[in-house]
Amino acid sequence: MQINIAKKAAADKAATFIEPGMTVGLGTGSTAYYVIMRIGEMVKEGLEIRAVATSVESEQLAKAQGITIVPFAAISGIDIDIDGADETDIQLRLIKGGGGALLREKIIAAAAGRMIVIADESKLVSQLGKFPLPVEIIPFAHELTMHQLEKLKVAPVLRTREGQLFITDNGNYIADCHIGEIAAPEKLHAQLNDIPGVVENGLFIGLASTLIIGTDAGEVRIYGRQD
Ligand SMILES: O=C[C@H](O)[C@H](O)[C@H](O)COP(=O)(O)O
């Protein structure tokens, strides 16, 4: 596999914020892949941490790297969560869920003392919305839920994979909403989650405190909390 220098640079920097004894939230996606690999190296070098994962895929990758995954019943909190994003603005508002992991990602981000977002430069936008906003909906009467989404004029399209409906780790569907520029993300977030049948949407607002952008030259820029 060809290494993505920008994603790896952001991930390697994020891993430096991990301290011994921490409980770490592991994100999902091609950028989170690099941080899981880096944490795996650190564990092999003697770092003692425990982790929880935001997807089955990340849990399997972490275990394969020797990272200890603990059950949620065994922890009282999460010190740090490191995850990617499909889009981020300068205020650290995010669109997530391109890989379908948004619900578990948001549960873990909300429970974490700190969320660090890692991304390459292409993810940093002046206004959210070019990337279709993923909305997780339950299968029961999903046709009705889709009608409710249509009333909001968000142009929802049920996600498919290889001709079949995409199913999340939670057994739900994803409606990708083709909105264009989202003028008021906070308002839209509330409107979407007000629809019965919507489990969660991919707008992450007020959750991230640090954004690490990696560049193709292998450098990083940090936004938000720096320490
Ligand atoms: O559901 C997937 C997650 O929200 C990912 O964090 C997001 O899609 C970014 O993934 P990637 O780093 O592969 O662009």
Tell me 69's DSSP state: B
Q: What is the pTM of this model?
A: 0.96
- The answer to whether 32 touches 83, Cβ cutoff 8 Å, is yes
Does residue 102's CB lie within 6 angstroms of at least one atom of ligand 1?
A: yes
For 43, the token pair is: 């564990």
DSSP codes joined into one string, 118-179: EEEGGGB-SSS-SSPEEEEE-STTHHHHHHHHHHTT--EEE-EETTEE---TTS-EEEEE--
Average pLDDT over residues 73-102: 97
Rounded to a whole number of angstroms, the CA Rg of the chain reads 17
Q: Which atom of ligand 1 is nearest the CA belonging to 33?
A: 12
Q: Which atom of ligand 1 is nearest the CA belonging to 31?
A: 12
Q: Whose CA is nearest to atom 10 of ligand 1?
A: 29
d(CA 146, CA 150): 6
Phi, psi dihedrals of residue 174, rounded to the nearest 5°: -120, 130
- Interface pTM (ipTM) of the complex? 0.97
Pocket perturbation via mutation, ligand 1, pick of 1, 4, 7, 31 by most ligand atoms within 8 A of CB: 31
Is position 27 annotated in a ligand binding site?
no
- The answer to whether 207 touches 189, Cβ cutoff 8 Å, is no
pLDDT of 2 reads 78
Is position 29 annotated in a ligand binding site?
yes
pLDDT of 106 reads 98
pLDDT of 216 reads 96
- The answer to whether 92 touches 65, Cβ cutoff 8 Å, is no
Is position 84 annotated in a ligand binding site?
yes
pLDDT at 13 over 90: yes
pLDDT of 3 reads 85
d(CA 27, CA 83): 4
Average pLDDT over residues 186-202: 98
pLDDT of 197 reads 98
Q: pLDDT of 25-78, one tens digit each?
A: 999 999 999 999 999 999 999 999 999 999 999 999 999 999 999 999 999 999
Q: Which atom of ligand 1 is nearest the CA belonging to 30?
A: 13
- The answer to whether 178 touches 155, Cβ cutoff 8 Å, is yes
pLDDT of 217 reads 97
What ranges make up the beta strands (E) of 2-129?
23-26, 50-53, 80-83, 87-88, 94-95, 115-120
Average pLDDT over residues 200-219: 98
For 40, the token pair is: 């795996």
pLDDT at 190 over 90: yes
Task: Spell out the domains of the chain, with CATH numbers in brackets.
Answer: 5-125+205-224 (3.40.50.1360), 133-198 (3.30.70.260)
Q: Which atom of ligand 1 is nearest the CA belonging to 119?
A: 12
pLDDT of 19 reads 98
Q: Whose CA is nearest to atom 2 of ligand 1?
A: 99
Pocket perturbation via mutation, ligand 1, pick of 35, 81, 86, 103 by most ligand atoms within 8 A of CB: 86
d(CA 7, CA 206): 23
The band of 116, judged by pLDDT with boundaries at 50, 70 and 90, is: very high
Residues with a known catalytic role: 105
Is position 40 annotated in a ligand binding site?
no
Classify 12 as helix, strand or coil: helix
Ligand 1: centre distance to CA 118 (Å) = 10
pLDDT at 1 over 80: no
